[in-house]
Structure 1
């Protein structure tokens, strides 16, 4: 009835005296009233009533099955309201006419209109959340991750379930579900609904997703419920404060740096000593040292501490000279073909003397003579399904480490960044300059002020970074 009351209020305002042309509109209202009251004309009126009822529900974010009693009651009440409005229009044309008004609607108008809590479905809430102009557009890997999370939520709670019907106990059930959900389920069970996966005997033998991954799902649910709360679609947030406790693991324990022996294994491998080729034959000794992506990416990581995706997405115009110093710009792009992990990630790093001696800048100059200034440096690296070269390279490097005998689960490509951090410590470089050289942040407000240290200031610092027991002379002697 609240919906119909709002409809009547709008209809009255749309036909207020300053909008009423009695010469042209009054005869139409007479005919409209006759049609509305004539039950033999129902086939003509029914589509109009149905359309109006559907529109009212949609605009109020309400859900009502078309064959349900609520929707049928709404149509009947709306039909009566249409007759009432038509009667009032006729009475304005003929003030002395004896037309009885419906006391039901007179009573409605004496009561304040109360906005109902919207019964918007979870699927529609996700759509509205995506379209919200206050939120940045999602692209690439971030969008794919969000879509996977939304599919999980729709699978568990039901896409057509009204968001207002999800209670705190339901969120706790979801947490119990996540504790049993297997890691990498989409790879092991492609196309299988998440709620079906947990019941599979094969899935129950697999390790469950980590607390961090489970919390990602809960955070996304929380983002949706907070959005619904702020939009007035629900009265309380059922997901507020519900996250799994994270195990007390220090950040340094998540990944290990490469040891001196590890570095000797990596840069003494056929890929850097001579291999058949840098594709399928990278692990087989041969006459070729091929200076393309697989050769340069590990070297750049070792001497800059850059993240894998930061290196793989480099374009030729990211290598510049500033303040008389060779630097590499690390930056995102508007179309997200290039992205940085954090605000601190938008920065520059200096080109260390060692990669220069091995021929990195000469390699860049050679590419510039053949390609556009904004062309990818490592166009030879495969692009993954997510649109990033770093994904296939990460898988390649895991296989590469196996081939050279580095099998520790905490030693991965990101270990280069930890190795670089240890080298900065060994060089006794100040914390501020460490952050400038590698893109870490202390979180202090003062870092938001000023432009930061100049490249020439950092040049003497980068020259102090070394790996004394790592001999790369064989790469300097073979620069062709």
Structure 2
């Protein structure tokens, strides 16, 4: 795993996650020698994981995928004769969905209204900002929560009078390892997003900053932004709402996609702003001017939430930044 991390373009978070899965596999086997791993070992581990109640997708796409990836690297780069994990997956049928993957409009509005109340817990200034702004940004961008929680003030950029957000792996990580621009919905502008980002300064908005010399794209261990995302998820659960698939932050991504279809948003523009790669080479041509992204993001209808003017992340006598 160490050699794969050094010689391939693998995200630091993926390295951390895969190491955890590999440690569990080694504990199951009682050793960490890849040359001694057999298909029967992998199959027995899969069967034991199935007994724990983990979903087929989790077992196949996380646990088994981690073992398969490192053994594939061993076959390619070293003298490992074969990949013992090849072809072994959890083929159980997924349970039939009982509801939408995303929030309903009613649930979304309830969460967004609740942001004006903040939390009664003693939180840091960045985490107070996160409880208010992260749900709103997720609602109008569909971004992954990690991409929002790692946002820095300097990523608010203006081109030709049009503001936009730059999502970049330099702030932590992105699933694709690439950077892209996202349009800003007018409702976010009216709520004060631009002013908040400017007041927060050039550094991180939703977590306490690291020392200036820190390379955020190659952190060892958990990025502080993940704590902000987990704070938001816990806060949503505290509202008493049952999050779709148990993922309170990711449910916004599904709702955003649904609303983008209903509002006639250009699919290529939507996929670009979601950080999804082009389906074919044709979609990869050209650039996306901020003015185009702005027009497309503002096709989304506004959430029917009245602004009471209260911002729970502000301290008495001023904004905490």
User: Which band: TM-score by shorter chain?
Assistant: 0.7 to 0.9
* 2:110 aligned residue: 265
The Cα of 1:349 is off from its aligned counterpart by 0.7
Q: Could you tell me whether the CA contact under 8 Å between 1:357 and 1:476 is conserved in 2?
A: no
* 2:75 aligned residue: 229
Query: Which whole-Å CA distance do the structure 1 matches of 2:267 and 2:17 have between them?
Result: 34
Query: Which whole-Å CA distance do the structure 2 matches of 1:232 and 1:464 have between them?
Result: 52
Query: Which whole-Å CA distance do the structure 1 matches of 2:99 and 2:175 have between them?
Result: 18
Cα pair distance change 1:365/1:175, threshold 3 Å = closer
Alignment partner of 1:352 is 2:185: yes
Task: Count the aligned residue pairs.
Answer: 300
Query: Which whole-Å CA distance do the structure 1 matches of 2:192 and 2:138 have between them?
Result: 15
* 2:214 aligned residue: none
Alignment partner of 1:466 is 2:285: no
**Aligned partner (choices 185, 204, 226) of residue 391 of structure 1:** 226
* 2:166 aligned residue: 329
TM-score for the superposition, normalised by structure 2: 0.78
The Cα of 1:414 is off from its aligned counterpart by 1.4
Within 5 A, what are the aligned runs for 1:45-444? 126=1, 129-130=3-4, 133-136=6-9, 139=12, 141-159=13-31, 161=33, 163-180=34-51, 182=52, 208-215=53-60, 216-231=62-77, 233-245=79-91, 247-248=93-94, 256-269=101-114, 271-272=115-116, 274=117, 278=119, 280=121, 292-333=129-170, 337-343=171-177, 346-368=179-201, 373=202, 375-379=203-207, 386-410=221-245, 412-444=248-280
Larger radius of gyration: 1
The Cα of 1:170 is off from its aligned counterpart by 2.8
* 1:454 aligned residue: 289
Query: Which whole-Å CA distance do the structure 2 matches of 1:406 and 1:464 have between them?
Result: 28
The Cα of 1:444 is off from its aligned counterpart by 1.7
Q: Could you tell me whether the CA contact under 8 Å between 1:423 and 1:467 is conserved in 2?
A: no
Q: Could you tell me whether the CA contact under 8 Å between 1:305 and 1:438 is conserved in 2?
A: yes
Cα pair distance change 1:211/1:254, threshold 3 Å = farther
Cα pair distance change 1:376/1:390, threshold 3 Å = closer
Query: Which whole-Å CA distance do the structure 1 matches of 2:36 and 2:128 have between them?
Result: 59
Q: Deviations for 1:198-244, whole angstroms, at most 9, x for unmatched residues? A: xxxxxxxxxx2222332223222223333333356343433222222
Unpaired runs of at least 5, structure 1: 1-125, 183-207, 283-289
SS in 2 for 1:474: coil
Cα pair distance change 1:260/1:332, threshold 3 Å = same
Q: Could you tell me whether the CA contact under 8 Å between 1:359 and 1:476 is conserved in 2?
A: no
Q: Could you tell me whether the CA contact under 8 Å between 1:316 and 1:376 is conserved in 2?
A: yes
* 1:72 aligned residue: none
SS in 2 for 1:292: helix
Q: Could you tell me whether the CA contact under 8 Å between 2:265 and 2:297 is conserved in 1?
A: no
Q: Deviations for 1:238-264, whole angstroms, at most 9, x for unmatched residues? A: 3222222263579x9896322232133
The Cα of 1:476 is off from its aligned counterpart by 8.3
Cα pair distance change 1:134/1:395, threshold 3 Å = closer
TM-score for the superposition, normalised by structure 1: 0.55
SS in 2 for 1:467: coil
Cα pair distance change 1:147/1:357, threshold 3 Å = same
SS in 1 for 2:7: coil
The Cα of 1:297 is off from its aligned counterpart by 1.2
Query: Which whole-Å CA distance do the structure 1 matches of 2:262 and 2:244 have between them?
Result: 25
- Superposed CA RMSD in Å reads 3.4
